[in-house]
Structure 1
Amino acid sequence: MYKFKLIDKVSLILVIIGAINWGLIGLFNFNLVDALFGQPTNLIGRIIYILIGVSGVDMLMLLFKTKKL
């Protein structure tokens, strides 16, 4: 069984936050990241979006790692 590393756990949390944010956008047209950190033109908001995107790639790699086991 694959043991989750710290980076995998952090990535999973960020992907969940991203999924909840997209759900809120789809259901209520409410962007949680923008509400908390400002519009994407704000540096902090852009960094959050970048981290969530990188986390998605990490979760994709995790999927392939666990399939090999």
Structure 2
Amino acid sequence: TSIDVNSLHHQAVKSAAPELRVTGKSDDGVIEAMESPERRFLIAVQWHPEEIDDLPWVRRLFQGFAKAARTAS
């Protein structure tokens, strides 16, 4: 699957920690997203979802975060 993101950064992740799984890379190989299969909700992105929150898949990301926060409290 391919998605467009607003990748605007001057730093990048060189390699993911052993407990993280790389789930997104740019065309030039820069790590753009990571997740933890061991945690209930741990998603790390190297872009700004808050700036493109009109896209349905970005809204689902925020909804998942809100749901995880509600169930954790």
- Identify, as 1 or 2, the structure richer in helix: 1
Which of structures 1 and 2 has the bigger CA Rg?
1
More strand by share: 2
TM-score, scaled to structure 2: 0.36
Structure with bigger RCO (C-alpha 8 Å, 6+ apart): 1
Scaled by the length of structure 1, the TM-score of the pair is 0.37
